[in-house]
């Protein structure tokens, strides 16, 4: 007997991240797309007519003729995935939450609100309890949950098991970020051909002062006590299509040896992996021992769920800090749509999409 799935919508379905949501939701065991929403310019058109499909693989055939809806909270869905730009996400996401919808957002609009979870399910699953605070404070039955910036995602994923064991005090990170992170059409080819752009607006501030500290912070029952660490970041746009590469140096409160660091990554088995969530990679972190890896073209899709793992390599002593290493992650999969999707899977299993949905997940996991 076919089990009923949770009905979901995609806001901003025609953009690069929206397309990735559509792609990753195909055949999902728990969720089914029942609404595709877009701007006023595209609403009323068939999805295939309004959307210039830019990602590898074909547009799902059964969605080609779906008529795009306006981004208004009157759709047949329980949960929406938001791929909206921040300037429109602020108003629209709030309207959906006020109307009782769950919102899993890729936008930055609410990431830093004290009552809104900023989630990486492997890192801070307990922060979903902020939803209860949010509902009491704002008086709505829906909720907003966010995922971090794509460059932050893999930095924090690599740091978390080390921070738990040894305490991270200082971090110096240099990012080499793929052009797809700028959206589509994004930067002109003439800007990046034979070039590196040593500036990405707002990116360094997010990494230095906001996102990692909230993600690695402690939920005290009412709010997040931010983690106490110092981060310095240089963010660069490079001529790579997908995959953000990060050179990371770390100083610890208790300095481990190299074997202890490798063991922390190897033994990392956080909640999503324990629950065997559909988009939780097994393992969450891959360590590549080759001296010239990871590389975006070769490793961005590594792992049991392509594009969802963090790939690490080149661990070695650092003469200024304690240790340094390279981390790589897929920016539009784990760093965007995949991160929101994994958030939704965690929310479902923890009962935030209703008891029936949680029971469905448990039934399918056992099966």
Instruction: Please say if 244 is a catalytic residue.
Output: yes
Distance (Å, rounded) from C-alpha 64 to C-alpha 48? 5
Distance (Å, rounded) from C-alpha 93 to C-alpha 72? 9
Instruction: Please say if 242 is a catalytic residue.
Output: no
Distance (Å, rounded) from C-alpha 32 to C-alpha 303? 25
CA distance to 100, 131, 320, 322, per residue, from 89 (Å) = 16, 19, 41, 41
Residues in the chain: 367
Distance (Å, rounded) from C-alpha 36 to C-alpha 158? 34
Could you tell me which residues are beta bridge partners of residue 313?
288, 326
Question: Is the CB of residue 18 less than 8 Å from the CB of residue 10?
Answer: yes
Q: Give me the catalytic one of 150, 154, 163, 279.
A: 150
Using only C-alpha atoms, the chain has a radius of gyration, in whole angstroms, of: 20
Distance (Å, rounded) from C-alpha 101 to C-alpha 34? 14
Q: Give me the catalytic one of 127, 244, 279, 330.
A: 244
Q: Which tokens go with 69?
A: 């809806």
By three-state DSSP, how is residue 215 classified?
A: helix
Question: Is the CB of residue 152 less than 8 Å from the CB of residue 206?
Answer: yes
The values of phi and psi at residue 110, to 5°, are: -115, 10
Q: Which tokens go with 22?
A: 């559509």
Q: Using alpha carbons only, what angle is made at residue 238 by residues 229 and 342, rounded to the nearest 5 degrees? A: 60
By three-state DSSP, how is residue 67 classified?
A: strand
Residues 124-127: contacts with CB within 8 Å, 24+ apart? 124/215, 124/216, 124/217, 124/219, 125/270, 125/271, 125/272, 125/346, 125/350, 126/219, 127/219, 127/224
Residues annotated catalytic, as ranges: 150, 244
């Amino acid at each position: 007997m076919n089990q009923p799935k949770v009905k979901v919508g995609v806001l901003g379905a025609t953009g690069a991240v929206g397309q990735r949501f559509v792609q990753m939701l195909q055949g999902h065991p728990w969720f089914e797309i029942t609404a595709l929403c877009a701007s006023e310019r595209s609403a009323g058109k068939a999805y295939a007519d309004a959307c210039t499909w830019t990602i590898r693989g074909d547009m799902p055939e059964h969605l080609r003729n779906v008529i795009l809806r306006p981004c208004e909270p009157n759709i047949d869905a329980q949960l929406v995935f938001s791929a909206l730009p921040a300037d429109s996400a602020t108003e629209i996401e709030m309207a959906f939450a006020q109307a009782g919808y769950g919102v899993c957002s890729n936008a930055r609009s609410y990431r830093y609100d004290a009552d809104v979870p900023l989630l990486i399910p492997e890192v801070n699953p307990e922060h979903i309890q902020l939803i209860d605070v949010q509902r009491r404070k704002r008086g709505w039955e829906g909720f907003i949950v966010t995922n971090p910036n794509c460059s932050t995602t893999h930095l924090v994923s690599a740091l978390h098991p080390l921070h738990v064991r040894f305490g991270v005090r200082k971090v110096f990170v240099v990012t080499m970020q793929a052009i797809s992170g700028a959206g589509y059409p994004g930067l002109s080819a003439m800007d990046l051909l034979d070039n590196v752009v040593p500036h990405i607006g707002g990116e360094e501030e997010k990494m230095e002062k906001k996102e990692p500290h909230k993600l690695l912070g402690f939920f005290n029952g009412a709010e997040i006590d931010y983690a106490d660490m110092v981060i310095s970041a240089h963010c660069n746009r490079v001529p790579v299509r997908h995959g953000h590469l990060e050179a990371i140096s770390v100083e610890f409160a208790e300095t481990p040896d190299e074997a202890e660091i490798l063991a922390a990554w190897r033994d990392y088995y956080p909640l999503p992996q324990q629950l065997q969530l559909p988009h939780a990679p097994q393992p969450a972190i891959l360590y590549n021992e080759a001296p010239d890896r990871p590389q975006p073209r070769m490793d961005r899709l590594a792992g049991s769920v392509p594009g969802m793992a963090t790939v690490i390599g080149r661990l070695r002593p650092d003469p200024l800090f304690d240790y340094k290493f390279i981390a790589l992650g897929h920016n539009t999969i784990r760093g965007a749509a995949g991160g929101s999707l994994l958030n939704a899977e965690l929310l479902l299993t923890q009962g935030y999409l209703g008891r029936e949905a949680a029971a469905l997940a448990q039934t399918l996991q056992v099966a």
